[in-house]
Structure 1
Amino acid sequence: MTFIDLFAGIGGFRKGMEAHGHKCVLSCEIDNSARKSYSAIHYNDPGKAERYEEFPNDVTKLVDKNQLPEQFDVLCAGFPCQPFSRAGRREGFSNDRSGNLFFSVMDIINHSEPKKVFLENVKGLLTSGIIEEPTDVDPEAKIKPKYIEVDKGLTFKIILEFLDKHGYDAQWQLINSAHFIAHKRERVYIVATKRKETFEQIFPIHVEKETINTKKLSYTKILNNPKYNFISKESFQFKFNAEYELIDSKTKKPFVFSKTTPWKNFGMMIGGKILTAKVKHNPEIIHKLSDYLQSNDEIDSKFILSKEEEEKQRYAKSAKTWEKSGNKMGNMAFPDSIEKPSRTLTANSSGREMMVIAYKDKFRKLTPLEYYKLQGFTEEDYEKAIKAGVSEGQIKKQSGNAVTVSTIKAIAKRF
């Protein structure tokens, strides 16, 4: 199948899709450093890698500038996650800059009507609501008022509503990259397909896929099938009414979005009827960080912590309670174990988030190459990016923002 790669980063979607013979016909990425890496990694022509400015950089203008291919089968997009992440302000679609970029994806879907839509985002997408700003704010106050998140889960409801209105059935699952590589990274993966009489069930990813006859759809039968004994009783069934209210199939009343999201870590929407349930999905194999590390004699001294840095890391990872807010943070391991998967790599892996491992009688940070490998990229990919002039700092940042290649491979294999 042909696909377009939006918010392409360094090409996690592309590598995973191409591993199964799918062909990329358009890439779009706004960050110049990521564009350099992307071009270097994915274009075999060395000259073309230097001409990274040639491919589009603005998702919001692809339709108006007529930059989309006439036809493509799959739209891939790891759209900006910050508005839905607990690491940010959780503004969801109310974030004018990043959150609203998803509506540009919707415009492209509406314009091109691809057969499949393949999306990735942080787990917070399932719980993201609306930030309610206090109205009686004293501008002279030293302590700023708390912003309250309301209508939790409404963001995801809007996504499902759009897809249903445009004739798509959808399925999703929260998947940890640790199933496939030594990296704990939970992300929501959504696959939507143009509606027809059969529904190809891709999720849950850990069971044999099957085809569902949409005319004989029964979520109750699915839940009661012994094959799906890993699905807990913690489930909801909904359907959209004419006004696109979410009607609870048990109570026959509209679901009220308040402090609790209805969305579980797995779900399907077929013909506007929705099943969402909690599934148990533990990695069958423990992938070890040690298998992805460079040898000790390859480690540059700049990655080894000084005594001062070591003490800062010990403090950063210790348990603490903040006096003003009362917020608490638990104790984190120091150093990190290399016999388990790494913690989630982030775009700003410093302070408390920094991975620290033992190194001889000292401690060290992970190298940029190790970051790349933990996201499913290769040493060759890393060397290409370095040769293209991408800094090590940018490589770490790009890795923290990337989609894990290994997970995309596992999903794309089922298309």
Structure 2
Amino acid sequence: MNQQAKNLHLNEALHLFELFDWWYPQKLVEETGLKADRVKYLIKLRKEFKTAAKENQSKLTIEQTYILENFSQGLSFHEYKKLQELLPTSVDGNKFLFVDLFAGIGGIRKPFSKVGGKCVLTCEWDEYAQKTYKANWQSCEEHQFVSDIKTITQPKDQDDTPLTGKKQANYIAKAMPDHDVLLAGFPCQPFSIAGVSKKNALNRVHGFDCPDQGQLFFDICRILMVKQPPVAVLENVKNLKSHNNGTTFQVIKEVISNLPDHQETLFSKKIFKDKQAYWIANLNDDKPDPKIIDGIHYVPQHRERIVLLCIRADIVKKLDLDKKIDLRDIPKPQSRPTLKDILEPNTKVDDKYTLTPKLWQYLYNYAAKHKAKGNGFGYGMVTRNTTDVTRTLSARYYKDGSEILINQDDMKTDKLKCGRPRRMTPQECSRLMGFVSKDEEFKIPVSDTRAYKQFGNSVVVPVFQAVADLISPYLTTIIKSNE
């Protein structure tokens, strides 16, 4: 084998080897049919490979090359084909560059890749969400994956002292790649109704006062100030508008719309003279507010989210985009999938998703108690072969599934399932969130519990496909005007 062929062979093996970073052992067993002991051995080999790496060295060490060759040559044809099927596919285009911040499992990335974007940086804090993201989206060679955005936006010197002013801005300019579109579904927990209630119960601060998550909006603004991408798309919960009696949203609008005026907040001092603010589509529209989009138009799920479509003010003025782009023009399909298009027949779903008698009795009694008091608390039940619409899938779905229970009264001959509802499977959740259709499979390399959290924290993908489709016809002109 010549050197070029050998390099190609090792490169392919390297991609297959990465699967063992992302997939839970049991999930690999289920997906590939490999025996558990075999999977355990290959995972051990992968760990040895990573241990053999040298710090700050991009090339393979001699020991790594040996391990990689051992891995590759030891695979049977069946194992090779099964692992190859799990490799992520490329969805990127080459029309524009974008960064995907607070990315979750890629719900906003997919639509912007579909309209021709190439993702050059992804930021996601949760290590399990990273696994699902990497298992589904193949990135270009120059792509960077960052866990903590603050390593870019709030750098420190060798003495662990935070950089400010021009030094901070210069660091951001170098560390953050150039991009045309910034996507950011910044953490919603500090602003969501459930998140605020939980923090209040624990006597913790919320909103901008939350030090870990609430301040991340300002990290987005630091990037916008320094890199000045032509377009930014921000997403959060509907409650962002009313949080703290509307003060939180007023701050967000003020900072984005008058970005250069807030340099002292972002960098501790005024350092720029020629930076632009951003125009926000439909900023002053209120009732109805087209910035709040309900997923019900695209999937059978009631899920309202606020979308801030921001374009640099000088570009808007130059191209008269404030007269051309309107969120009220977001395309909505004439029909959408039904629960029958999303849910498997109850006969085909594993028994483990059916609620236990104890849990079902608890939820039933809890709902009856609150109904007697005139409250609306309780479970949400839907039936597969109907026009039912589910409640909002939340990150707590793994606990009891109460917000979306699937009726199983059709299972009269099954003593286990008859009379007791079930949870959705994680794959059904992927369809309810619009990641895939029923004819496709979303790769879920993590446990059911982790998967439920990830889908509950994600976005309805077709909503952002509609946003991407709205802005797509103008992107080429916008990017050219920025050159």
Cα gap change, 1:301 to 1:380, in 2 (>3 Å): same
Q: Which amino acid aligns with 1:107?
A: R
Q: Residue 443 of structure 2 is aligned with which of 384, 388, 413?
A: 384
Counterpart in 1 of 2:229? 114
Letter in 1 for 2:303: R
2:313 aligns to what?
Answer: 195
Match of 1:258 in 2: none
Instruction: Output aligned runs, 1:362-377, within 5 Å.
Output: 362=419, 363-377=421-435
Q: Bigger relative contact order, structure 1 or 2, given CA contacts below 8 A and separation 6+?
A: 1
User: Mapping of 1:7-406 within 5 angstroms?
Assistant: 7-43=102-138, 55-63=145-153, 64=155, 66=172, 68-89=175-196, 91-129=206-244, 152-166=245-259, 167-171=277-281, 173-196=291-314, 197=317, 198-200=320-322, 201-206=324-329, 285=335, 287-318=337-368, 320=370, 329-330=375-376, 332=378, 335-338=381-384, 339-349=387-397, 350-351=399-400, 353-359=402-408, 360=411, 361-362=418-419, 363-378=421-436, 384-386=443-445, 390-406=446-462
Structure 1: how far apart are the matches of 2:355 and 2:301? 22
Given the two structures, how large is their TM-score scaled by the length of structure 2?
0.58
TM (norm. structure 1) is 0.68
Give 5+ residue unaligned stretches, structure 2: 1-95, 156-170, 198-205, 260-276, 283-290, 412-417, 472-483
- For the 8 Å contact 2:295–2:460, the answer to whether it is kept is yes
Deviation at 1:21, TM superposition (A): 1.3
- Consecutive unaligned residues of structure 1, counting only runs of 5 or more, are 130-151, 209-281
Identity among equivalent pairs (%): 32
1:331–1:33 CA distance, 2 compared to 1 (3 A): closer
- Cα deviation, 1:312-335, whole Å, max 9, x if unaligned, reads 22123346289xxxx973155653
Give the length in aligned residue pairs.
307
Residue identity in the other structure for 2:452:
K
CA distance in 2, matches of 1:337, 1:287: 14
In structure 2, the CA distance between the partners of 1:308 and 1:383, relative to structure 1 (3 Å rule), is same
In the alignment, residue 301 of structure 1 is paired with which amino acid?
A: D
Query: Would you tell me which structure has more strand in proportion to its own residues?
Result: 1
Determine helix, strand or coil for the equivalent of 1:184. coil
Matched residue of 1:397: which SS?
helix
Q: Is the 8 A contact 1:319 1:331 kept in 2?
A: no
Q: Is the 8 A contact 1:176 1:187 kept in 2?
A: yes
Which whole-Å CA distance do the structure 1 matches of 2:213 and 2:374 have between them? 29
The alpha-carbon distance between structure 1 residues 62 and 318, as it changes in their structure 2 partners (threshold 3 A), is: farther
Alpha-carbon deviation of 1:413?
0.3
After superposition, give the CA deviation of every residue in 1:173-196 in whole Å (9 maximum; x if it has no partner).
100011111221100000111113
Q: CA deviation at 1:336?
A: 2.3
* Cα shift at 1:342: 1.7
Structure 2 counterpart SS, 1:192: strand
Change (3 A) 1:183 1:156: same
| Aligned CA-pair RMSD | 2.8
Partner residue, 1:5 = 100
More helix by percentage: 2
Query: Once the 2 structures are TM-superposed, how far is the Cα of residue 80 of structure 1 from its aligned partner?
Result: 0.6
Given the superposition, is the C-alpha separation of residues 334 and 154 from structure 1 closer, same or farther in structure 2, using an over 3 Å criterion? closer
